[in-house]
Amino acid sequence: MPSQGTIGDRVRGLRLNRRMSQAQLAGPDLSDSYVSLIESGKRTPTPVVARLLAERLGCTTEFLLHGIEPRQRIDTELGLRHAELELRHGDPAVAADRFTEIVKASDEENALLTAHARFGRARALEAQGRLGQAVEAFERLRREAAAHPERLADLPLTIALSRCYQRAGDRLRARDLAASALEQAERLAITQGEIAVDLATALVETGEDHAYVKTVLDVSGVPTVVDRSGEIRALWQASVAAAAGEDSALAVRLADDAITAGRETRIALQLARAAMHWARMESSSAEEADGLVQAAGQVFAAFPATAQEYAESLIARARVRLRADDPARAGELATAALEVAHEGTTPAEAHLVLATTAADLDADATAHLDAARALLDALNRPVFGSDRQAARCWRELGDLYGRVGARGQQTAAYRKALEAAGVRSAMAGVTVDASIAR
């Protein structure tokens, strides 16, 4: 159905919705006074101007002139939403294919939607672990954002690139990008919402002990959430059914409801991850850290898919209790973590905490140290690159063996720490007697 109002009404409504000034909409090609005349109904844009304005406003020329969205755009909008749901709650590989189909089918009238589909495809590649391809896609989009800021925002792209480079092992590049994103966010006073939470998480992943992370946590807190995956899937399926019945408007609305429900959960999980990592920072007090990691654990405990992170939160909280000279409570938390931890270094870390608590209480720590060593030995190592968490665990194991006077095991653990960190070629014949620098 045609949109209510005049061309000027639609231009003004879309501009305000995108939070653009008249000068920003005018750009280098028009004057802001001319845009003002169009919005007031005193001028009618020529076809060339209408197309230019439509591109900057993220709509079609047909909608701007006549208030009617063509069927192709409606189908593209719906396709984008279903691909987003597939990315967040389904199969990232399927999502990547769907985003790619949208890119191939779109035309110049849908330049904004095409850009969003390319951004979605890049995120789907990242979700699959195809980091090299994801980085290439994000870098291309970032260059396009510089040339066409009306289509793409640079800040989410910069954050995504920092995240990808960090996971790919290029920590210097990751930190540079995170610093660039932080500068922009602080300039715009962005401390709430999805972008702020994603940036805080990126800063945490780069190891930056930055006040911005704490600011975001202070403003947003770590919300209590419930598992809404059943509701999300039901809305998603209803949207698919509505689309099959040619009820596109209802299909879009249902898909939007599903995405909104999922976004609440995603932000809560990201805040929980930021809180848990911040709690590990030496700059946080034991009381503050305990509250943050406890709230994070409650979020992780609400979702079956984050059981491993719940175990990690128990270990993090146990370490906070050790900092607070409360070894008994630390031991209880580590024991609880052993009941749910089945992956990675977490079971070994639980035994390391239990060994520490035993040593603090003047009890025998040997059994827990040997259990941690066996678990670390059983880990599958990557052929190339380093395993930083395993290296930290081996180093801690060496420190604890030294604490109980087991010098031979201490030396062997330090050697393993170096190997896990990628130091292999110069190890032959080396004897390690001192703690490895952190």
pTM of the model as a whole? 0.73
pLDDT at 277 over 60: yes
pLDDT at 411 over 50: yes
Quickly name the fold that domain 344-438 has: 1.25.40
User: Residue 383: its pLDDT value, please?
Assistant: 38
Retrieve residue 187's tokens. 């300039």
Residue in 255, 201, 262 with CA at minimum distance from that of residue 227: 262
Could you read off the pLDDT of 374-396 as tens digits, one per residue? 999 988 554 333 477 889 999 99
* Residue range(s) of every CATH 1.25.40.10 domain in the chain: 71-208
Residue 427: pLDDT band (50, 70, 90) is very low
Could you read off the pLDDT of 334-354 as tens digits, one per residue? 999 999 988 889 999 999 999
Could you read off the pLDDT of 84-95 as tens digits, one per residue? 999 999 999 999
CATH assignment of 71-208, given 1.20.120.1200, 1.20.1290.10, 1.25.40.10, 3.40.50.300?
1.25.40.10
User: Residue 332: its pLDDT value, please?
Assistant: 94
Residues 6+ apart with CB under 8 A from 251: 78, 239, 240, 242, 243
Residue 123: pLDDT band (50, 70, 90) is very high
Lowest mean pLDDT segment, chosen from 94-108, 180-194, 400-414: 94-108
Could you read off the pLDDT of 174-215 as tens digits, one per residue? 999 999 999 999 999 999 999 999 999 999 888 766 789 989
3-state per-residue secondary structure call for the chain: CCCCCCHHHHHHHHHHHCCCCHHHHHCCCCCHHHHHHHHCCCCCCCHHHHHHHHHHHCCCHHHHHHCCCCHHHHHHHHHHHHHHHHHHHCCHHHHHHHHHHHHHHCCHHHHHHHHHHHHHHHHHHHHCCCHHHHHHHHHHHHHHHHHCCCCCCHHHHHHHHHHHHHHHCCHHHHHHHHHHHHHHHHHCCCCCHHHHHHHHHHHHHCCCCCHHHHHHHHHHCCCCCCCCHHHHHHHHHHHHHHHHCCCHHHHHHHHHHHHHHHHHHHHHHHHHHHHHHHHHCCCCCHHHHHHHHHHHHHHHHCCHHHHHHHHHHHHHHHHHHHHCCCHHHHHHHHHHHHHHCCCCCHHHHHHHHHHHHHHHCCCCCHHHHHHHHHHHHCCCCCCCCCCHHHHHHHHHHHHHHHHCCCHHHHHHHHHHHHHHCCCCCCCCCCCCCCCCCC
What rounded mean pLDDT belongs to the chain? 86
Residue 421: pLDDT band (50, 70, 90) is confident
User: Residue 321: its pLDDT value, please?
Assistant: 92
CATH 1.10.260.40 assigned to domain 7-66? The reply is: yes
What is the amino acid identity at position 292?
L
pLDDT at 131 over 80: yes
| Percent of the chain residues past pLDDT 70, beyond the cut | 91
* Residue range(s) of every CATH 1.10.260.40 domain in the chain: 7-66
User: Residue 408: its pLDDT value, please?
Assistant: 93
Residue 82: pLDDT band (50, 70, 90) is very high
